[in-house]
Amino acid sequence: MARLFNKILVALPNDGEEAANIARAGLAIAKVHEAEARILNVITPVLEPSSPAIRFAAADTPIMSVAQVSEPTIQSRKAMIDDILKQYSPEMKADQTVRAGHPAMEIVSESESWGADLIVLGSRDRNWLERVLDPSVSREVVKKAGCAVLILPDKSR
The structural domains of the chain, ordered by start, are 7-153 (3.40.50.620)
If 0-12 CB within 10 Å is exposed, 13-18 middle and 19+ buried, where does residue 64 land? exposed
pLDDT at 43: 87
pLDDT at 12: 92
pLDDT at 1: 56
pLDDT at 14: 81
Instruction: Indicate the angle between helix axes 137-144 and 103-114, nearest 10 degrees.
Output: 40
Q: Running along the chain, 157 residues long, what does each successive block of 10 average in pLDDT?
A: 85 85 91 92 71 47 54 86 79 83 93 96 71 74 94 73
CB 81 within 8 A of CB 39: yes
Query: Per-residue DSSP letters for 113-126?
Result: HHT-SEEEEEE---
SS3 29: helix
CB 77 within 8 A of CB 43: yes
pLDDT at 64: 40
Residue 41 CB neighbours (<10 A) = 23
